[in-house]
Amino acid sequence: MKIEVLGTGCAKCKLLAERAEEAARGLGVDFTLVKVTDYPAIVARGVMSTPGLVVDGVVKSQGHVPTTAAIQEWLR
């Protein structure tokens, strides 16, 4: 599973990366966490507000930091 955190490295982006990793580890799934900081690459995925979370190519959230439980639902 590929999990991408889209953002410029702000505090919310870092928190989202931590929660995404925690969610994946909690479920015991194999995953790769990629942090995308290149603004044109972020916009190319259709994310206009960071942080963004993409799971296997599908945008799951943008503009806020979802709970670990919400992220786990998306990873199931």
Q: What distance in Å separates the CA atoms of residue 10 and residue 24, rounded to the nearest whole number?
A: 21
Catalytic residue among 10, 29, 34, 69: 10
H/E run at residue 43: helix 39-44
Residue 57 a catalytic site member: no
Q: Which two tokens stand for residue 64?
A: 């806020």
Residue 13 a catalytic site member: yes
Catalytic residue among 3, 5, 6, 13: 13
- Residues with catalytic annotation? 10, 13
